Structure 1
């Protein structure tokens, strides 16, 4: 390529870089053609064209205006290449943006999952809170019921204490009434004496039998006045008792004396019955008799030992000291001198 001599040097120096790029493009394109062909760039169409070259000595002459136009188009081409480079950068940026979008989408999905989990957690918290509220309400209800129960228990306890106090008072009153009734019974029987082991005869007159017994066995000739004389129980096999020999024991005769002095005279005459099977003792209510029954053997034992023994109502005194049946049996256990536990006989006359 040959330039006009009128071309300024400064213009050529400023466009060396563009010329180099052009030559590079032309040389690269011309390598694909025959050595005799000439390749050039049509700046209007942007295509590389070929022209036949007859000799290697041929030259292309450009005017300055053509050269400037060529350089301008070359610079425009360079700017287009720069834009292409920028487009590559934009692709990279787009890829980065796409990656960021993917990350944002993933983050949004995670955030959505977190929101769902948060909502589920909130539901759970609300459920627990509701349950807790229900428990608080139930607890308050239970507290009210418990207070009512405590009040009821206190009321029942107070009523129970009142009932217990009333029962204790009733027991005391009952015990007092029993004592009074027992005392009344004792007073009603204070004029009575019980005569044991007197033979029974069918169709007998108990009063005549007793008068004969007092006259013959106790040697009392004076007339004794009785209010009433009878056998203790109706004659029945249920009440039949037997002595050690298997002989039936006659039912006792109970006599109510008209005068206490006559009763005491007959009772004290019981010493004449010593050594016989007959007996005389005072009559007491069943409650007193149950307490006296275990004392009779101790009384007989004490009298056999020549000790002063007196049975007063349901208490036994030996040598002036009260003796209880339980304590006496424990004291004399294993000594071989246990008294007979049978009922009162002729030796016992209180």
Structure 2
């Protein structure tokens, strides 16, 4: 085996140069390590800040969730209260309608002995006593009830309806104008039998300007007017129909 030449051995200069290069590389590595350490610190700091943000977001989310739950609970409570209020309002409406019906019925009962006499002339400065005298004379002369029967009738109250109107009218006034000038008379009979005796003789007014009708509360009177239109239609169709109080009967 051939021996190594002395020229193949590294010289001191080569060794120094090599060590210098290694030292430079070590220094570069050290700088890189320092940069990595700095970056790791930044990453650690960022991670800590990120955790703080997540904790804050989690707390904020929980608070919002609690608030939403409380609002939903309140909304549910309000819905329940509104539904209860609607039911109470509906009950009050039914009670009001029932009370209105009861009041109307009581009014009807209080008017049970009443009759309204229409288009009877009204005199100047007419007093209630004069109104009663005019009505009694009208019942005798126009309804053909005997004077003895009329004198025996007890009338609880007789009065004109509504505000007194201007009675001055010239000749040639129309029948409608005359009707408007004379307020109707309301008479409350003490006995229902007397009222029916007078009402039964109202057929004697046929063809005249006068009329006699029962008195009803406004609501019942309005309903009766609608029902009488139906009665007319049913009679034209050949059927028997009549109205009793506020009910239509058809046979």
TM-score range, shorter chain: 0.7 to 0.9
Using the alignment, how far apart are the partners of 2:28 and 2:46 within structure 1? 30
Partner of 2:133: 208
How far is 1:100 from its partner? 1.4
- Residues 115-145 of structure 1: CA distance to partner in whole angstroms, max 9, x if unpaired? 4344333333333322221222233333433
The structure-2 alpha-carbon separation of the partners of 1:307 and 1:253, relative to structure 1 and needing over 3 Å to count, comes to: farther
How far is 1:245 from its partner? 5.2
5+ long unaligned stretches in structure 2? 1-5, 167-172
- Look up the SS of the partner of 2:213 in the other structure: strand
Partner of 1:185: 107
The reply on whether 1:232 has 2:161 as its aligned counterpart is yes
- Residues 69-100 of structure 1: CA distance to partner in whole angstroms, max 9, x if unpaired? xxxxxxxxxx9x999x6122123313422441
How far is 1:220 from its partner? 0.8
How far is 1:232 from its partner? 1.2
- Residues 22-64 of structure 1: CA distance to partner in whole angstroms, max 9, x if unpaired? xxxxxxxxxxxxxxxxxxxxxxxxxxxxxxxxxxxxxxxxxxx
Partner of 2:44: 122
Which structure has more helix as a fraction of its residues? 2
Q: TM-score, normalised on structure 2?
A: 0.76
Q: TM-score, normalised on structure 1?
A: 0.57
Cα RMSD of the aligned pairs, angstroms, is: 3.2
**Which protein, 1 or 2, shows the higher relative CO under an 8 Å CA cutoff with sep ≥ 6?**
2
Taking the TM superposition and a 5 Å limit, the aligned residue runs for 1:244-255 are 246-247=177-178, 249=180, 250-255=182-187
5+ long unaligned stretches in structure 1? 1-78, 321-350
Is the radius of gyration larger for structure 1 or structure 2? Answer: 1
The structure-2 alpha-carbon separation of the partners of 1:231 and 1:297, relative to structure 1 and needing over 3 Å to count, comes to: farther
The structure-2 alpha-carbon separation of the partners of 1:270 and 1:245, relative to structure 1 and needing over 3 Å to count, comes to: closer
